[in-house]
Each structure stands twice: as C-alpha cells, then as structure tokens.
Structure 1
Amino acid sequence: MTTPRHALKTTTLFFTIIFSLNCGHSLQLVAQTPPRIINIINFIRQSEPRDRAITEDVLYETVVQQIKQLSEYQLPATFLLQYDALINPRYQTLLKNNSMPVCEIGAWWEITQPHVEAAGLNWRGRYSWDWHADVGFATGYSPKEREQLVDVYMEKFKSIFGKYPASVGSWFIDAHSLAYMYDKYHIAASCNCKDQIGTDGYTLWGGYWNQAYYPSRKNAYMPAQNETTQISVPIFRMLGSDPIYQYDNGLGGMTQGVVSLEPVYKGGGANRQWVEWFFNSLLDPTLNFNYAQAGQENSFTWNQMKQGLEIQIPLIDSLRKQNKIRVETLEASGKWFKEQFSVTPPTAFSALSDVRNEGNKTLWFNSRYYRANLLWKDKSFRFRDIHLFDENFKSDYLTQAGTSDQCVYTTLPVVDGFLWSTRSELAGLRIVDKNGNDWEFGMPTVSRLSENVLQVEFSTTSGQTFHIIFYEDRFEVACTKGGKEAAWALELKTASGKELPFQKMNENEIKASFKGFEYAIACKKGTLENVPGSVFRILPIENKIIMDCAKREQMI
C-alpha cells in the first residue's frame, strides 16, 4: 500500500545551514530540509492542593514571570487555562494586557469543581482540583456530561476573550470530547502527554511518539489511517521526551520517572548540557518536520523552573534568529499542519549522539500505520519498539466514563522493549547470524531518501552492510554482502514469563490479540519460523525482509 501523491502536500522551506553542536556523527540531508518547530506552551492552574506552600499568589506570580521572560525575548507562546483560572479576573487582565508579540490563549482540559458545577453537574473530587483520572479529566464523565463541560467552557471563554479557543490541551483528551470540540467549535490544535508508564497515574504507551497526528474518532490516542475516520485536528506530543533514556526509565517496574525538556528536571530541561544536546537532536535527520514543546505548568512555581527556562529560552531565541527553528503558537502549528497534511504524515526523530556518553544512539519512526524505534548500544543493535496503529481499536472511554483514578491508553504491540523486558533481560528484535548470535555493528548513518522515506545504514565489524528503510506502511531490512558470506535473520526475544499478544503464526503472518482486539503483522518478503529460545525468527529471501505494517484484514 502506498500513499496517494495528493495526500501529503510539500513544504517549501529551505535551509542553507546545517546546525551542529559538536556532534561526532555523519548525516545526510537533501536540499529541501523539513522545518523544526517549537511551541512554548504554559498552562495555568488556579489551585495546587498537593502543596500548601503553593498558594494562588505563588501560582499567579509564576505566570507573571513567564510572560515577563517571553516578552524580553519577544517570543510567541501559548497559555492554556483551566476553567477556574479562566474565570479569575487576575489572569484575564494579565493575559489581555501582556507585552508579548503573540500570545495565544487557549484551554487546558483538566476538570475542576467550578467547571463541573457551572455545567450543572455534581463534583466528586477531594479538592477543587483533583488530579485523579475519574474526576479531574473528561474520561471520568459520560459522553453527554463531556459535551456539557465543553459547552460551558467555550461560552465562558468567548464571553471573556471574544472568541472560542483555537487550542485545547491536556495530558489526555477522549475522542468524544475532542470530536465535539472540533465539529462544533472548530478548534485548530490539541496536545497531549508524552509516552509514559504509570507516571502520576497516567499511562500512554505505544502511540505516535513525537510530532503530531490526526486521531481516530474511536480513540484519541490512536492515529487514524483514513481521512474519513479521523478527527481532523492534529494532536501534538508534549514535553520534549528524551529519545534515548525516557523509554527505559523505570525498567523492570510499572512506574516511570521523567527525562524531558521540562525545565524543572535536573536530568533534562534544567541541565544545560542536556538541553543543548536535545536541541541538536531536534535538528538531526527527520521526515516532514520535527517538533518539541517547551514551557511548564505554573504548579511547579517560578523558583523551580527559573533555572531551566533561563537556559532554554535564550537558546530557543538564538536558534530562531539563525533560522534553524520556527517558534510559534500551538494554533499556528495546528493550522500549518492541516494545510500541509490531509492525513497523518510519516515523521522521524533521531539522536545520533549520547549526552551521557554511554554509547547509545536511537531513531524513532512514526506513520499513520505504525511506529518503530531503533537503538544502538556500543556495538549492539535492536528494534527496541514496534507498535501498530488501527483506527478501529476503541478507547476504553469512548462511550462510558472511566471509574479508576488512573488512566490507560495503549496501541497494538509487536515489540515492546519496556513491558517485555527486565533489567537483566532486554526484549528486542535483533539481527542475528545463522546460529542466533548477535553481530557487532558500527556507526549508523541516517538519510532522507524522499519526502516520506527514511533509510538507516550500518555495517558489521566483519564487513556486511545493513539497510533499514522505513516507508509509511512497511519497513525493509536488507543486507549487502561484503567480507564474509552473510547468513542472517531477525529474531525476537523477550524476558521470560512475560505475557505476549501472539496467538498464531504461519510462514508469512503473525496473528495477535490485545485487550480482545485481533491484529496481524505480515511478512511480505521473508519467512517466519519458530525457534527454541525465541518468540519467532524471520529469515530473509534474497537477503531482504519486508514487514507489512498496514495489514488490517483477519488472517490464518
């Protein structure tokens, strides 16, 4: 399956300078370079019940300082308001009278007591804002109640600012609410949390890893495959996730910490070395565009975020002045995305140097059909992650309210290097020799072959060269013989005792079932086989394996 030529429009942004911050890696870029976009998004809460020292005045002063800093650098930004902050005259005056060049004001979709009561509903929370998923997010309400919450917010916002908000963000928004916002109020953009396991009680795992996607009308976390079944408002992934280290954080457990661009984290956005490395990685090879969200919610307070922002904002300003990035509001990015892409485009995020100097390199590929992550560690290599996307996989919250204080959004796993691993046994799809032994590999080179096609090339220490080519609906692994004669395969191994989704297999297909939903991955070229000690092995035909990630019909 291929994308119709008219489905993706071409961006016409050209760059003449390739940015480097002491990167010791090779890369190839075609002349027409995809844009790199940064949204500065700060969202505003009226109260913070988790810490008595964080008063309403402290929260307000944090936003004052954020605006002051952005005004100094004349950077555009987006401020998203919870309902209780929206109705506070202090925030209304502050945001209306700011001195920023562009200040977008939008909605932050955490549900609060004043919001619920304004919609004529009963508040069930412990505090006026309760972060538990069954009261503090729209997933905890019935579809009809969600519409009431949307209507009352939109009308109040318009009465204050003279128009409806164009951007609505949250850690997660259900498909019913998002579709209602788009269909009735024509929002232009949304944003949700980065991928994580269990952090703050919220799990979003296996999704479109970065950049932005059009969600399914049945599941706002799941990219849609067709324009007719999508909510045509792009969802941008927040927080600037560390492409190497966030994924494995908390390995062996069920709760992850945070390694991200958020300016309060010492191992991420508050560390100058990490921030410079992250922005450099943002400019590494990609497809269509690359993206990061900067900014922080006011709950963390100015004292905690000041150091990180004083590192990040001048760097963002410098990169903008050098025309290496675009800094714009979430609304502007959403409108640009919709002008460029009628369906979710393929994108990539590569990090070909390691800020910790531990020998790691990575590549993330995303499309409307699947995501894949490659990881190199010194001389080893594996597919760390492959998840498939299917617009028919319904969210648990599509038609009914969630009753748990936690929330879980997932997609369809083929390789899961976190949940199927332990600290001593790392799951992955590896390139092995005829005896099942791992090979040693050298430095990868990443190149953009066309607008929607990315190639990774790397060699073994004995002289064979491997090419992995990512298309939006499939990926290919091929070996060019060199040095000694090559006999190789792809082999999936996981930690022992892990529950896996695979049900049946023949030489061309694997059937799987996850949460009662059946799906398949097909081998278009190559042969699948069972091998003791592994989940499965894929043998090449004529030194090539082609995996179809867009197969939807049932099989076997």
Structure 2
Amino acid sequence: MLNHVNIITVPKVVLVISILLSFFSEVLGVGKALAVTEFGENQFITIVNPVRISAYNPDPKLSLEAEYKEIRERNLPATWLLTSDVLEMEDLVGVIKGMDRNQELGIFLEVTPSSARKSNVSYYQTDSWHRASSLFLVGYQQQERRILIDSVFERFKAIFGYYPKSVGAWWVDSYSLQYMKEKYGIIANLGCSDQFLTDGYSIWGQPWSIPYYPSRFHAGMPARTLESKLDIVTLQWAPRDPINGYGDGRASTYSTQDYQINNLSIDYFANLVKLYVQKQRNLFGQVTLGLEADLSASVYSGLYGQHLDIIKKLQNEGVAEIVTMEKFSSWYRKEFPVLSPPHLIETDDLLGKRMKGLWYQSPNYRIGLIYEYDKEVTRLIDFRTYHDNFQEPFYVTPNRQNDLYINIPSVIDVVSLPESTWIFPLKQLVSIEGSRGNFSLRYESNQSINIEPAKVVLQNIDLKIPKMVTEAMTIKINNLAKTQEIVPAQSWPVGLEGLIIKDYPPQVLYLLDFNNLKQPKNVIRICLTFLFIGGIIFMTFRLRIVKRVHLTRLVLIILVISTLTVVLTRNYSYFISQAEVDALQKLQGLPEGKVVVYDHYCLRCPFHSTYLPRAFINRKDYVKNIGGKQVIYNRSVFEAVDKTRGRQELLSLGVRYVYLIKQEDYWEKLPFSFQDYGLKKLYENANAQIWEVR
C-alpha cells in the first residue's frame, strides 16, 4: 500500500550539501541540477497584512502598532496593503513611515463612502459596507474604476514619494489590473484563495492556492499564451486545505486563516504551511499568510505571534525564505518569464482520514483527485479548463448584486453538482511518479492516470468516459490503442462578447408580442397610432391634395415597403453572456424536465455591454436551444402576492426547473424564499440561477 506522505523539514546541512552537489555537477559535467537561488531552494513565505479602517475598531493606530511590533521583534519582512482611508489618517501614516526597510507598502483596493467621495465617484450604497457591489472595483463602471485607482495611487505617491508595486483585495478584476500595470507598473496582486461562498464572495476555479500569471481577460484564470498574459503575479491569501477546504459552506475555514473555527490546533496551521512551502515535485513552493490590521490589538500578541514564531522557525531552519510580494513577484517573473509552470499539490488528509488529495494545475486546466485508501477508490472531483477568450463577468459591466460570483466554468465540480463525481474503476494506487509538470498515478494491473500540462491520459483503463465529459464544449476525446486522451480545447466556444443573435429591434419585438398587445396602455397607443394615420388620410381626401386612386396606391406602397423592411431587416444584435451560456450548459446536462422562465420585458434597463442582453426583450427561446429543455413562460409564479398560491401555481405548471437571469440592474427573483416555494439550488454564477422544484 502507498505510504502516507510525511511532511519533513530541510536542515541547514542539507542546504549546504545541495550547493556542493550543484557545484560539482557543473565542474564534472554530470547533468545540471536545479539551481539554488538567493532565496534558498525556491521555497517562500510571504506575509501580507491588509490595513483598513473599520467601524468595529475604536483605535486603529493601536492595532497597527501592535501588529507591526510582532513583525519587528522577529525581524521579518512583510507587505502592508493600505486602503485609501488609511492614507487620510495622519496618525496611521506616522506609524507606517516609522516602519523599517524590510517592510513593503502597497494599496488595498477597497471602496468606501469616503474614498468614493474624494474621487468624485458615486458610492454604490447597499445594506452593508462589505457587499461586493459596494466594496470592490467591479461594482463600478470602467471609467469609475480608473478614477478610483488614480485617486488612491496619487495619494499614495504624495505621501511616500513613489507608486507601489503591489496591490490587492479579495477580488481585483482583470480590467483594473491591466490598467494599473500599464499606468503604474504594478507587478504583484493579492487575491483570495478559492471559496465557494464565504462572506458573500464566491471565487471558484482558480489554480488551487498557488501563485500564477492572470489572463488579461479573467483575473481568476492563468494566462494560456504570452499574448493574453498580464505580467503580474497573483498571490493567494490564506491557502485552503486540499481535501477539507474543497466544499461549500464552512469548507473554506479549513485554511491557514480560520482553522480555529473548527477547533483545530496550531499544529494544523503549521502542517498546512509546510505543505505549501515545500516544493515537493514542483519547481517552487510558496504560501501567503498574514492578518488584517483592523482587529483588536490584543489579537496580535496572541495567535498571530504564534504564527510568526512558526514562520521564523522555518526561516531559521533554512526551509523557506521570507519575502515581500514585490520580491516574490520579481523572482517568479525572472524564473518563469513566459507562463506559469504546472504545479502539483499532493497530501494525505491533514485531519487523519485515510485518503490522499491531489490538485494539478497548468495554464490549460486544473484537476482535483481524491484517493481513498481503504476503499481503493479514485474520484475525480473537479475538472475545469482555462481559456484566453473567456472574459470575467464584470470586466465590462458593473456588478449590481450584493454578492460576488466568479465561477470559472467546469466540466466536473462536485460542490456545484454533487452527482458529477467521476469514479474510476481502479484498484490499489501503487505510486505517484514524475516531476516538472508530468505526473503519473500508477495502479495495479499496469493501469495509470497520466497528468500532463496539455492533457490527461488514461492508460490501460477499460471504461466509458461519462457523458458530462464527452459532451462538454471544452473537451476533446482521443481514443487510441489502450489509451484515452482528454484534451482541453484551445478556446472557449463562445467569444468574448458572448453569443450574438440577430433579430428585430426591441420595440418591434415588444409590439409583436400578443400578450403586450392586450395590455391597456399598449391598446391605447395602437389606437392613437391608427387615429393619427386615419386623420392624415381623411385630411388628404378632404383637401383633395391628390386623386383618391393615387392616394390608395401610395398607401399600399408605403405599407408594403414598411412590411418588407421589418421582415427582411433582422439586423439588430443581442447577446447572451459567456457566463449564461455556461449555466445553460449545466442545464443541458441535468435530467429531463420542463423549465419555467419569467415572462418579463425590461426595455428601459441600463446596460454597459456592447449589445443589449437577449433576456431584456423577453426572447428566451435560447434557453431551450442551448439548455435542451422545454420552456414555459410565466408571470404569476414570479409576481405572486401569496406564497401558498405561488407554490400551487408553480406545481400546476408541471415544471422541474426554475431558470433565473441576472444582468447588471436586471435581476429576476422569486417573491418568496426558496423554502416557501420548495426549491433546491442546483447552480449559480454571475448571470444565472438554476433551481429544482421539489
């Protein structure tokens, strides 16, 4: 049986020996060993402390001083990311200016009423400061994002005399990153590690808790080509447990940040840090740790200090070098000048369950596997592909939802769709072999799963690949002798602007809808139109401007030309976003059943996309065409004033699914809770929700 992974440290003598071996291998010509750089054996820890002003902290200066004291006493370098509000407080600026030269200063890109006011940007007010549409740059239009960025960068320079190299927030969109790269020369970005939905932020599908070069169109996807690469390194805050940290709800608390919520000891923290610091079979290891500076001052001398002691110990033992965001980015960009290297995270369960977790990621895809020792079962739990032409949902349009949904499309995702688990009919796992991006899981009977940067290869495994994989838009299957190759497609099948549909202008489609013709206000409009035309004809006859026969011909010609113009000129462009196409693909893969959609127009809804969203004109035939389900239009379910009647109406439709659309300010909602309507959420991303009727 495969031995459990033992987490070890590297003493200084090993470091010395490795340097000598590297030297002699060069002199004797016995192959070139991996170079030992100025940062040790390519193993790093980066401490990042965001500094903000919070209503619940009565003395922010005391808190900042307390946190810096712990850093200074251990002589550790750290990166301090400052919000715009912090830059306006002279006492905090005084503390920051008094920090030693080991400290790096950067910007934490959170929007507050005060920072918006100073930038002359309208603050998007919600019920709480932490709502995604208020707090993050994606809650604002592109021009507003630029203004907010310019304001805080200029203020930073006015105080410290230079522009920072590092920025961060729990989400910074790729449009803003590219703007800051081009104008201010940033090289490092702090983001949040994967979490299904924590604090209202769903960031799901990035490379698993490791640094990467983001795509210029999607900050959560690694760049696949040099042309699409942002020359910025994204570091991920508070890495997650590779096994227990993958899930919904509280799963994200199995991390270096919130592990105490689960009654885990500091030993769990230490083991999780070592897991990511040690490069194992990879070209480097790295972990990002830290703590916000707006907590009570007493917190920092307690648990935070203990964390720093562990970090200092790893530094003293030669296991890891402690570097700032800027220094790590500089090393990474020099070491990997083209694209992010493939990376494998491999571990036995840190909580003691008899299972192994593996996460592999390359610029082309990521895959998550679980092996259960006792059952001798291998499960593929996550598989999603990365594409340069897939654009994050709020790149162009602002996010008007309270929550943030950055959900990278998946082929398999057992958190979103538990039934999508792929179980391999294999026996005992004998070994895991490989390095530098090519790995092989070897089983009894000479079977193997080979993971390579551009594909996954199943060797000597007699199985039928699940329909959800073979029918995925982003996967190609190559069947060879005793081998099956699963190859991620080069491009997302729908372009950056979404799926474009040509049709009549919105006003024409609205009037052609029989249900709209029955509405009193539209009946009045049509009657007035006919009265106006009739009045012109009557006045023409009355005044004898032309002969009646000529007038009749003229009217007929006008009617024919108008009709042909309407019928033949279907050249108005509408679009369906890439995120909605992703949701419809999920709908297609669900069991058969009818789908109810909201029978509703929104011709006056504002939009910032190039084209009008197709849903705004109530043409939802595409739900059937892409989602593969019969569509039922309905209003009473969505506008019910009594939950019992609403539920009865829903059941009377005989539908299995409810499909809701979200696009900027247009957000389809049910009038009562999902419990009242007896619904279970199956899938949600930035632009759509799918519910099952129970």
Q: TM-score range by the shorter chain?
A: 0.7 to 0.9
The residue that corresponds to 2:112 in the other structure is: 112
Please name the residue that 2:357 is paired with: 362
2:187 match: 188
Q: Is the 8 A contact 2:165 2:185 kept in 1?
A: yes
Corresponding residue for residue 46 of structure 2:
39
Instruction: Give a deviation string over 1:11-65, Cα, whole Å, max 9, x none.
Output: xxx95689xxxxxxxxxxx9638622211001011123xxxxx3230x3323222
The answer on 1:341 being equivalent to 2:336 is yes
Which residue in the other structure is 2:71 paired with? 70
Mapped contact 1:42–1:78 kept (Cα < 8 A): yes
Aligned pairs for 1:473-488 (under 5 A) are 473-479=454-460, 488=462
Aligned Cα root-mean-square deviation (Å): 2.6
Cα deviation code 1:161-212 (max 9, x no counterpart): 1101110001111121111100000001001111111211111111222222
- Residue in 2 that maps onto 1:229: 228
Aligned to 1:312: 307
What is the TM-score normalised by the length of structure 1? 0.77
1:470, distance to aligned residue in structure 2 (A): 2.5
SS in 2 for 1:151: helix
User: Take 2:296 and 2:229, find their aligned partners in 1: how far apart are those partners?
Assistant: 37
- Please point out which of 274, 281, 295 is paired with 1:280: 274
Match for residue 455 of structure 1? 439
SS in 1 for 2:411: strand
Q: Distance in 2 between matches of 1:225 and 1:355?
A: 32
1:468: Cα distance to partner? 3.0
Q: Once the two structures are superposed, what CA deviation does each residue of 1:114-166 show, in whole Å capped at 9, x if it has no partner? A: 21111112223358x81111111100111001000011111000011110111
**Secondary structure of the structure 1 residue equivalent to 2:227:** helix
CA shift at 1:336, angstroms?
1.5
CA distance in 1, matches of 2:279, 2:327: 23
SS in 2 for 1:261: coil
| Residue of structure 1 aligned with 2:475, choices 521, 529, 542 | 521
| Match runs of 1:151-190 below 5 Å | 151-190=150-189
In the TM superposition, what whole-angstrom CA distance separates every residue of 1:441-466 from its partner, at most 9, and x where no partner exists? 24643431xx3x2313343xxx3244
Distance in 1, Cα, partners of 2:192 & 2:347: 24
Change (3 A) 1:440 1:400: same
For 1:136, give the aligned amino acid: L
Q: Give deviations 1:332-378, integer Å, cap 9, x for gaps.
A: 11111221223332332434232211112111111111111111123
Structure 1 191/492 Cα, relative in aligned 2: closer, same or farther at 3 Å? Answer: farther
Q: CA deviation at 1:403?
A: 0.8
The count of aligned residue pairs is 460
Write out aligned runs for 1:118-517 (5 A).
118-125=118-125, 130-250=129-249, 257-262=252-257, 265-267=260-262, 271-282=265-276, 283=278, 285-304=280-299, 306-378=301-373, 379-421=376-418, 427-432=420-425, 439-442=426-429, 444-448=431-435, 451=436, 453-459=437-443, 463-479=444-460, 488-489=462-463, 491-492=465-466, 505=470, 510-512=471-473
Query: How has the CA–CA distance of structure 1 residues 301 and 381 changed in structure 2, closer, same or farther, with 3 Å as cutoff?
Result: farther
- AA of the residue aligned to 1:313: L
Aligned counterparts of 1:260 and 1:327: Cα–Cα separation in 2:
20
Q: Name 2:615's counterpart in structure 1.
A: none
CA positional deviation for 1:74: 0.9
Select which of 477, 484, 489 maps to 1:545: 484
Quote the Cα distance in structure 1 between the aligned partners of 2:124 and 2:171: 20
Structure 1: how far apart are the matches of 2:465 and 2:294?
46
For the 8 Å contact 1:212–1:234, the answer to whether it is kept is yes
The separation in 2 between residues aligned to 1:169 and 1:366, in whole angstroms, is 23
Compare the two structures and name the one with the higher helix fraction: 2
Partner of 1:27: none
**Residues of 2 paired with 1:74 and 1:305: CA distance?**
16
| SS of equivalent residue, structure 1 residue 376 | strand
Q: Distance in 2 between matches of 1:466 and 1:35?
A: 33
Aligned partners of 1:263 and 1:413: how far apart in 2? 27
Kindly tell me: are residues 244 and 305 of structure 1, through their superposed partners in 2, closer, same or farther at Cα, counting changes over 3 Å?
farther
CA contact (8 A) 2:83 2:110 kept: yes
Q: 1:308 to 1:446 in 2, by over 3 A?
A: farther
* 3-state SS of 1:323 partner: coil
Inter-partner Cα distance in structure 1 for 2:344 and 2:89: 40
Q: Which amino acid aligns with 2:350?
A: V
Alpha carbons of structure 1 residues 385 and 176: separation in structure 2 relative to 1, 3 Å: same
> What residue is the counterpart of 1:515 in the other structure?
none
State the alpha-carbon separation in 1 of the partners of residues 488 and 107 from structure 2. Answer: 36
By percentage of residues, which structure has more strand? 1
Q: 1:490–1:82: structure 2 CA closer, same or farther, 3 Å change rule?
A: farther
Aligned equivalents of 1:419 and 1:147: distance in 2? 34
Q: Deviations over 1:241-287 (max 9, x none)?
A: 1111110253xxxx75521111673448x722212321332226242
Q: Distance in 2 between matches of 1:139 and 1:241?
A: 25
Note closer, same or farther for the CA distance 1:310–1:445 as it changes in structure 2 (3 Å cut).
Answer: farther
Cα–Cα, structure 1 residues 257 and 169, in superposed 2: closer, same or farther, change >3 Å? same
Is the contact between residue 264 and residue 305 of structure 1 (CA under 8 Å) also seen in structure 2?
no
Unaligned runs of 5+ in 2: 1-13, 19-31, 36-40, 495-694
Q: 1:249 to 1:306 in 2, by over 3 A?
A: farther
Contact kept in structure 1, 2:51 and 2:108, CA below 8 Å: yes
Distance in 2 separating the partners of 1:553 and 1:86? 42
The corresponding residue for 1:4 is none
Aligned equivalent of 1:88: 89
Q: Give the deviation of 1:554 after TM superposition.
A: 5.4
User: Quick one: higher RCO (CA 8 Å, sep 6+), 1 or 2?
Assistant: 1
- Comparing 361-370 and 274-283, the one that deviates more: 274-283
> C-alpha separation between the residues in 2 aligned to 1:326 and 1:40?
11
Contact preservation (8 Å) 1:15, 1:32: no
* Residue 293 of structure 1: how far off its partner (Å): 0.8
Deviation at 1:392, TM superposition (A): 1.0
Residue identity over aligned pairs, in percent, reads 23
Contact 1:194-1:239 at 8 Å conserved across structures: yes
Amino acid at match of 1:440: K
Residues in 2 aligned to 1:191 and 1:208: alpha-carbon distance in whole angstroms: 14
Cα shift readout 1:305-332 (whole Å, capped 9, x = no counterpart):
6543233211211111222112100011
Q: TM-score, normalised by structure 2?
A: 0.62
CA distance in structure 2 between the aligned counterparts of 1:102 and 1:301, rounded to whole angstroms: 24
- Measured at CA, do residues 319 and 68 of structure 1 come closer, stay the same or move farther in structure 2, by a change above 3 Å? same
1:416 Cα offset (Å): 0.8
Residue 529 of structure 1 is matched in structure 2 by: none
Distance 1:256 1:404, change over 3 A: farther
Per the alignment, in what secondary structure is the counterpart of residue 548 of structure 1? strand
Task: Give the whole-Å Cα distance in 2 for the aligned partners of 1:284 and 1:377.
Answer: 24
3-state SS of paired residue (1:398): coil
